[in-house]
Amino acid sequence: DQQVKQNSPSLSVQEGRISILNCDYTNSMFDYFLWYKKYPAEGPTFLISISSIKDKNEDGRFTVFLNKSAKHLSLHIVPSQPGDSAVYFCAASANFGNEKLTFGTGTRLTIIP
Amino acid sequence: DAGITQSPRHKVTETGTPVTLRCHQTENHRYMYWYRQDPGHGLRLIHYSYGVKDTDKGEVSDGYSVSRSKTEDFLLTLESATSSQTSVYFCAISESSPKSGGAGKTQYFGPGTRLLVL
């Protein structure tokens, strides 16, 4: 039972354009959501998170949107840069991160120069 | 940088042998986690610890045991390695993050251990 789903295994975007990565969840107890970026042979790096009390959180080029009614969140990267090429994982937790994280299967983003 | 190191970084072993992976942290975090990453599965929680000698199982704990005798070290042991345990193993700690949109704890990961069981 996949409680966190990333339905796009891969995504290619032209440099300078917007990258949009999507994530859906099924567990209504989840109230804290995170995005991680992973390069080959490295550990996942925390990018940005959002709690259910908000519907948007922004940090530089990265913005996460949360639609609680649709149980959907998305990560927007604007503008996309070659260094953004990586695998992106969505994760969710209950109790504002005090419970275990459940991860999606990841989306491989490739930025085309 | 959450001050997490993992050792070894790479290991090749044979089926049936015991293997211990070590996670070391320098910042006195209470919570520590072990995950495995496999293609098509994302990261899956094996075991976690919420204090010295306090551990609990995650979703894929069969075949693994853990120990935490001091705050800074969290050990993952494969008692008798099998080929299905070939994977990349990540350790993590959790702490509050200033980049969260509201209250929330964030997990930070170590560099990983790549394990091959032949």
B71-97 confidence digits (pLDDT tens): 999 999 999 999 999 999 999 998 765
Nearest residue, CB atoms, A59 vs list B42, B48, B99: B99
Omega into B8 within 30° of 0, i.e. cis? yes
Q: Evaluate if residue B98 carries a pLDDT over 80.
A: no
* Both tokens assigned to A1: 């039972």
Strand ranges for chain A from DSSP E: 4-5, 10-14, 19-25, 30-38, 45-51, 56-59, 62-67, 72-77, 86-94, 102-103, 107-112
User: Given this model, what pLDDT does residue B104 score?
Assistant: 67
- Which three-class secondary structure state does DSSP give residue B47? strand
Residue A30 to residue A95: CA distance in whole angstroms: 7
Proportion of chain A above pLDDT 70, given as a percent: 99
Q: Evaluate if residue B59 carries a pLDDT over 80.
A: yes
- Do B77 and B19 form a contact (C-beta atoms < 8 A)? yes
Q: Evaluate if residue A30 carries a pLDDT over 80.
A: yes
Residue with tokens 């394990």: B115
Cβ-based contacts of A2 with chain B (< 8 Å):
none
Q: Evaluate if residue A111 carries a pLDDT over 90.
A: yes
- Do B76 and B89 form a contact (C-beta atoms < 8 A)? yes
Distance of CA A84 to the CA centre of its chain: 13
Residue with tokens 């996949």: A2
User: Given this model, what pLDDT does residue A62 score?
Assistant: 98
The stretch B62-67 carries a mean pLDDT of 97
Q: Does B94 touch chain A (CB under 8 A)?
A: yes
Rounded to the nearest angstrom, the minimum Cα separation between A12 and chain B is 19
Q: Which of B16, B12, B4 is nearest to B92 (CA)?
A: B4
How large is the greatest C-alpha to C-alpha distance in chain B, in angstroms? 47
User: Given this model, what pLDDT does residue B100 score?
Assistant: 52
pLDDT band for position B1 (cuts 50, 70, 90): low
Q: Tell me whether residues B42 and A43 touch, CB distance under 8 A.
A: no
Mutation to test the A interface, candidates B45, B46, B94, B99, most A Cβ within 10 Å: B99
